[in-house]
Structure 1
Amino acid sequence: MTTQTDIPPAEGGGTRHSWLREHSELGVCVLLLALGVLVLTDALTMDVDIAQRGPVGPKTVPVVVGAGLLVIAALLALDVLRGGRGQAEGGEDIDLSEPADWRTVLLLAGVFLGAAVLIEPLGFPIAGALLFWGAAFALGSRRIDRDPLIAAGLSLVTYTVFNNLLGVPLPGGPLMGVL
């Protein structure tokens, strides 16, 4: 009887394929590296007004985040190359034998895309309410009597907090004069 260990590696790359498979976490390192370079490039080429009120300017946080991403990518790559492996996902509410629920993923993606398109013409309160209601529906809630009211309340509270209390202007849309 032939087992998997009895079969020699294929000519011209069988061991390379298995090395890449064993070190697949390096893909995450590459993603973090690219994201860190992107954030740092964007931060360092940012056009900023010279007059600054304190020691911390608008470039500080993006530079720290970009540098942190680069450090994390390097440390993770070092760990993977030394033989470190990520733990398999586990938990009492996760069934790894079940396939991914692509319907939910696609519904959520559509809801987010729809909110992004509608936020400018309808304003944040309406687009946000549709976002919250659509996300609740995509995740399985079917309470038509309650969900729209909760979504509208969440959206209005979020709009009020950001627009009026934090000073972050959000598009108001047709409700701009009412709120």
Structure 2
Amino acid sequence: MTTTPTTPTTPAPERKSWLREHSELGVSLLLLVIGVLVLTDALTMTVDITQRGPVGPKTVPVVVGAGLLVVAFLLAIDVLRGGRGEAEGGEDVDLSEPSDWRTVLLLAGVFLAFAVLIGPVGFPVAGALLFWGAAYALGSRHLHRDPLIAAGLSLLTYVVFNNLLGVPLPGGPLMGVL
């Protein structure tokens, strides 16, 4: 009796389409589109003739737009040469766990409330609610400490932007106080 050795059959590897193999080109295309939009907007911007130095308001958008185009081009070359992004290794992210929609919805609600309240009550109050609400949504349960820290952060942010940097923020009822 002679037996012929049997070899285990291995399934043929799946052939991925060319687009699936080079999916990072989508990121490159997105960067290209954003870069063209930024450059177009920067170059068609109307600027006052009175400029106070060599760097005008067009400089930063032109540099950012050109940088986006360069990154898009270099990324496309890398992908076409076989470069691939690494799969998500995550720090302590368990990709098998479902999304925490409660946290996402709480944060979305806090941001929406901030957008609605910033006009009527001003930045200091709306910002304090934003900071406290974000801390609560992300899991902090220090109900005495968090509102105080949120109020301090909001007031500090308001004073720095409004008084020191000259970026006007709506003050609401605190407009005359600070």
Q: Normalized against structure 1, the TM-score is what?
A: 0.86
The alignment partner of 1:121 has SS state of: helix
**Residue segments in structure 1 that go unaligned for 5+ positions in a row:** 10-14
CA distance in 1, matches of 2:36, 2:22: 22
2:60 alignment partner in structure 1: 61
Tell me how far apart the structure 2 counterparts of residues 120 and 148 of structure 1 sit (CA, whole Å).
21
Alpha carbons of 1:31 and 1:135: their partners in 2 closer, same or farther (altered >3 Å)? same
Higher mean displacement: 21-30 or 169-178:
21-30
Opposite residue 149 of structure 2, the aligned amino acid is I
Could you report, residue by residue, the CA deviation over 1:119-164 in whole angstroms, capped at 9, with x for unpaired residues? 1222111111111111111111122111111111100000001111
CA distance in 2, matches of 1:104, 1:54: 47
1:104, CA displacement in angstroms?
Answer: 2.0
| Letter aligned with residue 152 of structure 1 | A
Q: Is structure 2 residue 4 aligned with structure 1 residue 5?
A: no
Which amino acid in structure 2 is aligned with residue 111 of structure 1? V
How many residue pairs end up in the alignment?
171
Partner of 1:174: 173
106-115 or 40-49, larger mean C-alpha shift: 106-115
Q: TM-score with structure 2 length normalisation?
A: 0.87
CA distance in 2, matches of 1:19, 1:111: 42
- Kindly state the Cα deviation for residue 91 of structure 1 after the two structures are TM-superposed: 4.2
Distance 1:159 1:39, change over 3 A: same
Query: Any residues of structure 2 matched to 1:1-179 within 5 Å, and which?
Result: 4-5=11-12, 18-179=17-178
Task: Note closer, same or farther for the CA distance 1:4–1:51 as it changes in structure 2 (3 Å cut).
Answer: farther
Name the Cα RMSD after superposition.
2.0
Partners of 1:99 and 1:175 lie apart in 2 by 43
Q: Which has the larger radius of gyration?
A: 2
Q: Which moved more, 1:169-178 or 1:83-92?
A: 83-92
**CA, structure 1 residues 92+46, in 2 after alignment: closer, same or farther (shift >3 Å)?**
closer
User: Which of structure 1's runs of 4+ aligned residues deviate more than 6 A?
Assistant: none
Q: CA separation in 1, counterparts of 2:35 and 2:11?
A: 40
**Cα 1:96/1:131, change in 2 over 3 Å:** same
Gap runs ≥5 in structure 2: 1-7
Q: State, as a whole percentage, how many aligned pairs show the same letter.
A: 82
- The 3-state SS of whatever aligns with 2:177 is coil
Report the equivalent of 1:12.
none
Q: How far is 1:87 from its partner?
A: 1.2
1:121/1:89 CA distance change after superposition, 3 Å: same
